[in-house]
Structure 1
Amino acid sequence: MVSVKRFIGSSGERFAVLIDSEGIPLTYPNLYTTINFRNRGHSVNTIVSVLEDIELLYYLLNKLQINIEQRIKEKLFLQLHEIEALVNLANFKRNYLLNKKTDRKIVSFPEKRREAVRAKIVIKNDNVSKNLIYRRLTNFADYLHWLETYLCKASATNTAKIMKARRPRKTIDHSADYKSFEQDQINLILETIDPSNQKNIWSSDFLNYRNELIIYLLLYLGCRKGELLNIKLSDFVQSNGSFYLNIKRNHDDDSDTRLYQPLVKTRSRGLALNLNLKKKIDQYILNYRSHIANAESSDFLLISNQATPLSINALDKIFTQISSRFQFRVHAHAFRHTWNDKFTDKVQPLIDSGRLTEDKAENDRAYLMGWIPGSQSARRYAKRAEDRRAIEVGLGIQNKFEENDE
């Protein structure tokens, strides 16, 4: 059984390899990711994602009794029914395919009538999203094409082309997963996490003030989880009487001891802090963070009780604990959506009055969010504002008809 292993190099670089059951790295998958991803500067999370799909590919090939490397060396490339079998199996959840935490057992392939059995595989409630199927088949196809080219340079096959042609269409409508908080929900969250609340979620002042600061940073700045967890004390600066936070890209930061390093995916930028947020930051640092043993050894703003940088899992646990108090889910990215809604509400009157152009407003949004101007992410939020305006116009037309009836 193969698996993905992460590690931190002596230089601080995060990397991952695919290893066999004895812990020995597999030659071709790791050579592939080194050449095509590591050497091109891709993040460790991207490399892990690719390796996990290749791991799944090898598992499925093993189930189908296909030694892909030997087959390619012998120029016995995958046949159409074998490609179809891989495409079919790529639709299913990993836990199902790996026979973990499922009510059903992994489909076994008898020696006889193997192709007939493959065509009749039916699994209920174990399918994955179309986007994940698309990603898997893309990584399957790209790796197989590279492997065929590397092991058998003189041969040209259609394996990758056939497999990619069977990918589902990617889902591009993001309206269903866009969820921001309503104002009454924000009020409930802030009231619940207030350290002066008699029904505190957490047991210590340090946790209460740290976790309150987490919510305010996400709400006021609209930052991502990776950006939040990488804020350092040295990132705060003062200039001309104003206070700023510098968000920095941090790949392979050798001062970060976390194996699963939170990454800053967006562009570096400086964000201004209002007095209320600055007061909360100072209060946490001076009165609570400073009381943690060895806190001075870490430059990270958000730390654990052991003075280690707060992990992604620990942050997710905080949101699970907060969510348990409500009938709605509280998660980090919803604050980013909420910030963008507030930004739209702020700039729309300026646009309507002619004091600000839509292009300038969207460039400002892109800067504050860390996007490249004109990016698809920025366009997504702009489209949401356009949709809201269209809905308001539609309601206005309906009301106009009622006024005429009267």
Structure 2
Amino acid sequence: MSRIRLKKYLYGGIQFVSIVDENDCPLDVYAAAYINSVLSRKAFNTTVRYSNELLFALCYFTNRSIDLTARVANGRLVSYPEYLSFFDFCHHQKSAPLEPNVIPFLGVEDKHLRNAMTANLRAFSKVSPETIQGRVRRLRQYLEWLFDEFHGGKVVTDEVEDRFHKLISKLKLDEQSFGRNSDFNPVSTTDSVIPDSVFESLQEMILPKSKHNPFKSSKVRNYLIVSLLEQTGIRRGALAKLKISDCRFHGSYDRISIYRSRGADVTDPRLEKPNQKTRSHEAIVNRSLMEQIKFYIDHIRPQFNQCNTHDFIFVSEKNSKGTAGLPISLKTINNIFNKLSNSLNFQVHPHLLRHKWNEKFDAAGEEQNVERPLLEDMRRNAMGWSPNSTMGQTYNDKAIQRHTVEMMRKHQELVEQKNEGK
């Protein structure tokens, strides 16, 4: 089995991604060109995700001695049975055996037992429709790019062109089928993303002086991180790239500027640089939290020497790898929430607080009798979404269905009252 992996590295302060072999060398120059030309136009985290999808496809075909580059170059392409086998494997986790129908146990003679083990293995290997769709889409786009590189502007035989278009059409059909299926996403009308009781426990637990606080150190920093996500609804990446200069420590003393990433930030030493996906906007927090952020910047952050090398607010406070004082990593933020989740006995993550913010925003809008169109415009502004964004439709649907349930309940009560009066 070939040991192929994704490698992330910095060069000149800029992030790069490559698919390398067991010798740490690029697996294929065309795969490297595709990543650094087509995929690199995206945000870095998106580039990594798309590269992982390509890695999945290259691992599959390489371990079956199928050279995709050579196949496209000589016009053989991928046969229909070969694609069907890949499509079947797309339904499985990366950790699943390369042959999903082969059980990794020896000495099992009973046929029924082998079949049961096979079914069990496949059941545990299933992935989401979005994951399958992404893997199929990446293979299709990579094959299209390779075909254009080798045959674009050149005369190819009718047989090769026909075989190529049939293959791409099949991939598109499979890809689009998952898109249609994933559109059906019933909205819960009553359940909150974080039950109020759990949310209240989280707010109490994260207080630095709380007896339930699960952290032995970095309590102030972790409290500020959770509180900022709760009050602003910003993403994890936007929080990790906040700078001291983004905070308005004057005037109303309640605003933080959220900037969209424009190219690589050469002042950021992190390998996985955080980014802000949506448009630049201002986030509003209460004055008390801003004062606590100022306290952290003035009195806690300076305790770590390397904080003088950059302007990012939140820093690593452990020096196990010489990182104390350097900007906090996305992994560290995830670890904070993993620890909180274990203590709460409820899985909570940064993006869940973004959803909770939107729920609270809805409730506040209804309490103040804000008309729905205006409320959605306000939400788009606060979230940094474009004026034409439909991202808020989920919350709008949820509100509509909640009102529908309330109306139906009242109607049922009237019917019951009439029946009782007869």
Common fold, TM-score beyond 0.5?
yes
Shift of 1:90: 1.4
- Does the C-alpha gap of structure 1 residues 160 and 217 become closer, same or farther in structure 2, counting only changes over 3 Å? same
Distance in 1 (alpha carbons) for counterparts of 2:185 and 2:268? 34
Shift of 1:175: 4.7
Distance in 2 (alpha carbons) for counterparts of 1:349 and 1:192? 28
* Offset from partner CA, 1:25-68 (integer Å, 9 cap, x none): 22111222333232xx3112222222222222222212333222
SS in 1 for 2:256: strand
RMSD: 2.6
8 Å contact from structure 2 (residues 187, 397) kept in 1: no
SS in 2 for 1:256: coil
- Does the C-alpha gap of structure 1 residues 88 and 380 become closer, same or farther in structure 2, counting only changes over 3 Å? same
Which of the numbers 152, 165, 171 marks the counterpart of 2:173?
165
Shift of 1:104: 4.4
Residue 122 (structure 2) pairs with residue 123 (structure 1): yes
SS in 2 for 1:263: coil
Distance in 2 (alpha carbons) for counterparts of 1:243 and 1:125? 48
Matching residue of 1:227:
238
Matching residue of 2:394:
380
- Does the C-alpha gap of structure 1 residues 328 and 125 become closer, same or farther in structure 2, counting only changes over 3 Å? same
Residue 204 (structure 2) pairs with residue 191 (structure 1): yes
Aligned 1:200-211 pairs, distance under 5 A: 200-204=213-217, 207-211=218-222
Residue 344 (structure 2) pairs with residue 333 (structure 1): no
Aligned 1:194-343 pairs, distance under 5 A: 194-204=207-217, 207-238=218-249, 240-250=251-261, 251-305=263-317, 306-343=324-361
Distance in 2 (alpha carbons) for counterparts of 1:56 and 1:273? 42
* Offset from partner CA, 1:274-302 (integer Å, 9 cap, x none): 22222221232233223333433331111
8 Å contact from structure 2 (residues 61, 68) kept in 1: yes
SS in 2 for 1:14: strand
- Output the amino acid matched with 1:31: A
Matching residue of 1:397:
411
SS in 2 for 1:288: helix
SS in 1 for 2:305: coil
Aligned 1:143-154 pairs, distance under 5 A: 143-153=142-152, 154=155
Matching residue of 1:75:
75
Matching residue of 1:136:
135
Distance in 2 (alpha carbons) for counterparts of 1:176 and 1:314? 32
Shift of 1:368: 0.5
Matching residue of 1:37:
39
- Does the C-alpha gap of structure 1 residues 175 and 255 become closer, same or farther in structure 2, counting only changes over 3 Å? farther
- Does the C-alpha gap of structure 1 residues 126 and 397 become closer, same or farther in structure 2, counting only changes over 3 Å? same
8 Å contact from structure 1 (residues 267, 370) kept in 2: yes
Distance in 2 (alpha carbons) for counterparts of 1:252 and 1:364? 30
8 Å contact from structure 1 (residues 4, 18) kept in 2: yes
Shift of 1:375: 1.2
Distance in 2 (alpha carbons) for counterparts of 1:334 and 1:74? 49
Matching residue of 1:20:
21
* Offset from partner CA, 1:143-166 (integer Å, 9 cap, x none): 112212322343322222122222
SS in 2 for 1:324: helix
8 Å contact from structure 1 (residues 371, 378) kept in 2: no
8 Å contact from structure 1 (residues 193, 200) kept in 2: yes
Instruction: Say how many residue pairs are matched.
Output: 382
Distance in 1 (alpha carbons) for counterparts of 2:340 and 2:136? 37
Matching residue of 1:180:
193
Distance in 2 (alpha carbons) for counterparts of 1:292 and 1:68? 50
TM-score relative to the length of structure 1: 0.86
Residue 360 (structure 2) pairs with residue 347 (structure 1): no
8 Å contact from structure 2 (residues 39, 50) kept in 1: no
Shift of 1:93: 0.9
Distance in 2 (alpha carbons) for counterparts of 1:58 and 1:286? 50
Distance in 2 (alpha carbons) for counterparts of 1:380 and 1:281? 33
Shift of 1:252: 1.3
- Does the C-alpha gap of structure 1 residues 327 and 151 become closer, same or farther in structure 2, counting only changes over 3 Å? same
* Offset from partner CA, 1:253-290 (integer Å, 9 cap, x none): 11111111122111111123322222221232233223
SS in 2 for 1:7: strand
TM-score relative to the length of structure 2: 0.83
- Output the amino acid matched with 2:356: T
Q: Identity of paired residues, percent?
A: 24
Structure 2: any 5+ residue segments left out of the alignment? 106-118, 318-323
**Segment of structure 1 superposing worse, 312-321 or 189-198:** 189-198
- Output the amino acid matched with 1:30: A
- Does the C-alpha gap of structure 1 residues 161 and 234 become closer, same or farther in structure 2, counting only changes over 3 Å? same
- Does the C-alpha gap of structure 1 residues 8 and 22 become closer, same or farther in structure 2, counting only changes over 3 Å? same
Distance in 2 (alpha carbons) for counterparts of 1:390 and 1:263? 39
SS in 1 for 2:55: helix
